[in-house]
Amino acid sequence: MSWINALVQGVLLGGLYAIFATGLSLAFGVMRFVNLAHGDLAILAAYLVLSTASTMGVSHVVSLPLVVLLMAGLGYVGQRFVFNRTIGPDPLAGILCSFGIGVVVQNLLLARYTATDRYLDAGSIETSTIRINDSVSIGHFSLLTFVCAILLLGSLQIFLSRTSLGRAFRATADDPATAQLMGINDKRIYGFAMAIAFGTVGIAGFFLGARETFAPAAGPNQLLFGFEAVVIGGLGSLWGTLIGGIVLGVAQVFGNQLSVGWNLLAGHIVFLMVLAFRPNGLLGTGVRT
Amino acid sequence: MLVVSEVSAGYEDFRALFDVSLSVREGETVAIVGANGAGKSTLLRAVMGQVRLHAGSVHFCGVDISEMKTYDRVKLGISLVPEGRKIFPSLTVRENLFIGSFGKRPGPWSIERVVSIFPMLDRLLNRSAAKLSGGEQQAIAIGRALLSNPRLVLLDEVSLGLAPVVVKQLYNALPAISNQGTTAIVVEQDIHQALAVSDRVYCLLEGKVSLSGEASRVSTSEITTAYFGAAV
C-alpha cells in the first residue's frame, strides 16, 4: 500500500513542478527562449512575498496576488527592454543574458536577505490532510497545489485557443515575420508572453516557499527540475508540462521509497531515459528548426 | 494611393532594387512582372517594410511610411500575400483566416465573404491548415490578407507551384476583390496571367523598371524585350 501512497504523493508533487515549469514552457514555446534565471526568479518571488507581507502587515497568502502582478510587470519590462534585444537566429545571447540575470538575482537576494533559510506560511492548510486509509493520505496543501496547476494550465489553454491575443501568441510562435504581416507586433507579444511566464513563476515561488525552506542559492536546483519536467513532457507543450511534472514527481517519490539517497537520482534517470528514447518528450511534436 | 520614389533596397551587401519608382492609384489593379530574380518580391517587401531602404521613399495615402514598422503599415491598410503562402501550421484554417483581422480594421471582409469567393475553404474551416494542398493554402493566404480589410493588397506570385486549374480558380477571385474597392498589386512571372487581370503594368529587369504602361496598350514585343532585356 505504501507504493500507492508514493504514487499519489508523486502525482501531487508533479503539480508543483508543472506550475514552476509552465513559464519555462511558455517562453520556449512562444519565442524559443531558454530562461536560465527561471529558478532564481521563483526564489525572488518567494522573498517578495515575505517582504510585501511584512511591509503591508498582511499574511503571505494575501500578498501573493500583488507579487504575481509585480512579477508579471517585471517580466514584461524585462522582455521589452532586455531579452528582446537578444532574440535572433543564435539562441546563445539569450541563454547567456538570462544566466547573468540569474547570478545577479542570487547575489542581490543574498545581500538583502542573507543566506538564512526562510519559509512561507500558507496557514493551517499546510499540515492538514485527508486520510484515505491507514497508509494513504493526501495533504490539503499538496492537493491545492495540484488543483492550481490544473487551473493554471487550463486557463492558459483557453487563452491560447479561444482569444485573439492567444492566437497571436501561436501565430508569432510559428512565424514572427509573417505574424507582423497580420498587424501583430511580435516584440509586444513576447513581452506579454514573458509577463505570463513571470506571473506563473511568482505562483510557483509561493508554493515552493510554503512547501520547503528556501535560501538565495536555491534557484538553480529548481531550474533543473523545471527543465526536466518540460523536456519529459515535450518542449513547448503545455499539458506535456503537467505530464512531465507528474512523471518526474512520481520518479522522485518512488526513488525515495527504494532508498532515501535515490530520491533525486531516480528523477534524473527517468529524464535521461526520455532524452535517449523520446527526445521530443512524451507529448512533444518536435522542435521547430 | 501608393507612391514609391527612387527606391534602392536589398539584403545586407546585396542590392536588389535600383532607383525604382512606381505609383498606384486607388481602385487600380497593377501588375509587376519580371523574370526570376528581377526584384519583384523585394519591391513588395520594401513596401511592407520587411527590407530596409538604402535610398528613396515610400508614401501611402500621403503618409511617408519609409521608416514605419511592418505591423503599423498593416494597420494603415496595406496587406501582403507573401511568396510561399506562409500559412501558420499550428492554427486551423478558421484561425488562420481570423488572425488576419487581428488589427480590427473596419471593412467589408468577413470569413463568410472570403468563403464565398473561395468555396473550397467552406468544408475545411476546422481542419489544420498545415495539411492542405498548395491551392487551398494559397486561398487561405489571400483570404487572411483580405480579412485585415486592406485598402491595398499585394499578391506575391500566387500562382507559384500550383496547377493551372487551381491558378485559374484563384485568379477568378480577383474581380471580387477589386469590386470591394480594394486596390491590388499583382506580382507574377507569368506575363499573360498578370496582364489579363490588371489595368497597368510595370516590368522589372535586374532591379530596375524596364517598362511601364497601360496593360491593354503594351505590345507583346515591348514587354518581351523589357522582360528579357533583349528581343527574343
ipTM rounded to 2 decimals: 0.92
Give the chain B residue nearest A180 (alpha carbons): B71
Residues 6+ apart with CB under 8 A from B197: B29, B31, B171, B174, B175, B186
Check whether B232 has a pLDDT greater than 70. Answer: no
Looking at CA atoms only, how far is residue A178 from chain B in angstroms? 7
Check whether A234 has a pLDDT greater than 50. Answer: yes
Question: What count of other Cβ atoms lies within 10 Å of the Cβ of residue A17?
Answer: 31
CB A49 within 8 A of CB A70: no
Report chain A's C-alpha Rg in angstroms.
19
Angstrom distance (rounded) from CA A193 to CA A24 = 11
Instruction: State residue A189's pLDDT score.
Output: 97
* Mean pLDDT across A245-271: 93
Domain count, chain A: 1
For testing contact with chain A, the best of B12, B47, B50, B71 (most A CBs within 10 A): B71
Instruction: State residue A285's pLDDT score.
Output: 58
Angstrom distance (rounded) from CA A27 to CA A97 = 14
* Mean pLDDT across A220-233: 93
Instruction: State residue A136's pLDDT score.
Output: 86
Domain count, chain B: 1
> Using a CB-CB distance cutoff of 8 angstroms, which residues of chain A are in contact with residue B86?
175, 178, 181
Instruction: State residue B74's pLDDT score.
Output: 96
Any domain includes A286: no
For testing contact with chain A, the best of B52, B75, B102 (most A CBs within 10 A): B102
Instruction: State residue B152's pLDDT score.
Output: 96
Instruction: State residue A124's pLDDT score.
Output: 82
Instruction: State residue B194's pLDDT score.
Output: 86
Residue of A199 and B165 predicted with greater confidence: A199
Check whether A287 has a pLDDT greater than 50. Answer: no
Q: What is the pLDDT of residues B99-148, one digit of tens each?
A: 999 998 999 999 999 999 999 999 999 999 998 999 999 999 999 999 99
Confidence class for position A238, pLDDT limits 50, 70, 90: confident
Instruction: State residue B231's pLDDT score.
Output: 57
Angstrom distance (rounded) from CA B146 to CA B133 = 20
What is chain A's mean pLDDT, rounded? 92
What is chain B's mean pLDDT, rounded? 91
Among residues B83, B107, B55, the alpha carbon closest in space to that of B158 is found at B83
Confidence class for position A274, pLDDT limits 50, 70, 90: very high
Angstrom distance (rounded) from CA B193 to CA B155 = 13
pLDDT above 90: percentage of residues in chain B: 70
Any domain includes A283: no
Range(s) of the domain holding residue A140 = 2-277
CB A165 within 8 A of CB A249: no
CB A28 within 8 A of CB A230: yes
Range(s) of the domain holding residue B24 = 2-228
Q: What is the pLDDT of residues B29-69, one digit of tens each?
A: 999 999 888 999 999 999 999 999 999 999 999 999 999 99
Kindly report the CATH number assigned to the domain that includes residue A194.
1.10.3470
Looking at CA atoms only, how far is residue B209 from chain A in angstroms? 26
Give the chain B residue nearest A30 (alpha carbons): B90
Any domain includes A285: no
A167, A173, A185: residue with CB nearest B71? A185
Strand, helix or coil for residue A37: coil
Check whether A191 has a pLDDT greater than 80. Answer: yes
The grid cell for B163 is 496547377
* Mean pLDDT across A201-222: 95
Check whether B216 has a pLDDT greater than 90. Answer: no
How far is residue B160 CA from its own chain's centroid?
Answer: 13
Confidence class for position B219, pLDDT limits 50, 70, 90: confident
Q: What is the pLDDT of residues B7-19, one digit of tens each?
A: 999 888 888 999 9
Instruction: State residue A88's pLDDT score.
Output: 82
Any domain includes A284: no
CB B83 within 8 A of CB B89: no
Q: What is the pLDDT of residues A62-80, one digit of tens each?
A: 999 999 999 999 999 999 9
Instruction: State residue A223's pLDDT score.
Output: 94
* Interchain proximity A183–B91, CB inside 8 Å: no
Instruction: State residue A263's pLDDT score.
Output: 86
Check whether B215 has a pLDDT greater than 70. Answer: yes
* Mean pLDDT across A20-30: 92
Q: What is the pLDDT of residues A82-141, one digit of tens each?
A: 999 998 888 899 999 999 999 999 999 999 999 999 999 888 888 888 888 888 889 999
Instruction: State residue A127's pLDDT score.
Output: 81
Any domain includes A198: yes
Instruction: State residue A286's pLDDT score.
Output: 42
Instruction: State residue A288's pLDDT score.
Output: 38
Kindly report the CATH number assigned to the domain that includes residue B76.
3.40.50.300
Model confidence, pTM: 0.91
The grid cell for A275 is 532524452
* Interchain proximity A171–B75, CB inside 8 Å: no
CB B80 within 8 A of CB B148: no
Q: What is the 3-state secondary structure (H, E, C) of chain B?
A: CEEEEEEEEEECCEEEEEEEEEEECCCCEEEEEECCCCCHHHHHHHHHCCCCEEEEEEEECCEECCCCCHHHHHHHCEEEECCCCCCCCCCEHHHHHHHHHCCCCCCCCCHHHHHHHCHHHHHHCCCEHHHCCHHHHHHHHHHHHHCCCCCEEEEECCCCCCCHHHHHHHHHCHHHHHHCCCEEEEEECCHHHHHHHCCEEEEEECCEEEEEEECCCCCHHHHHHHHHCCCC
A170, A174, A181: residue with CB nearest B74? A181
A164, A174, A184: residue with CB nearest B71? A184
For testing contact with chain B, the best of A182, A187, A192, A285 (most B CBs within 10 A): A182
